[in-house]
Amino acid sequence: MDQKSEKDKKQILLRLSPQLWRDVAAWAEDDFRSINGQIEYLLSEAVRRRKKSSDGGPGGGE
């Protein structure tokens, strides 16, 4: 990413259960990412898959 898009990132408050936090933290460590980076990666992948599945193919969405 370029510097401009990094500065344009939005901040949110996210509340997670302690168990979900531990699970995401362990997954992030396995993937050599920060917890924030892991959450951003997972959200990006979910959005990408949703867009791909709703691109007019059979079934149309979910």
Q: What does the DSSP 8-state code read for residue 32?
A: T
Residue 11, domain member (yes or no): no
Q: Answer whether residue 45 is part of any domain.
A: yes
In a domain, 58, yes or no: no
- Is residue 40 domain-resident? yes
- Output the CA angle 20-24-27, nearest 5 degrees: 140
**How confident is the model over 35-56, as pLDDT tens digits?**
999 999 999 999 999 999 988 6
Would the pTM count as exceeding 0.95? no
Structural domain harbouring 45: 17-50
Residue recorded with tokens 């951003």: 40
In this predicted model, what pLDDT tens digit does every residue of 2-35 receive, in sequence order? Answer: 567 767 889 999 999 999 999 999 999 999 999 9
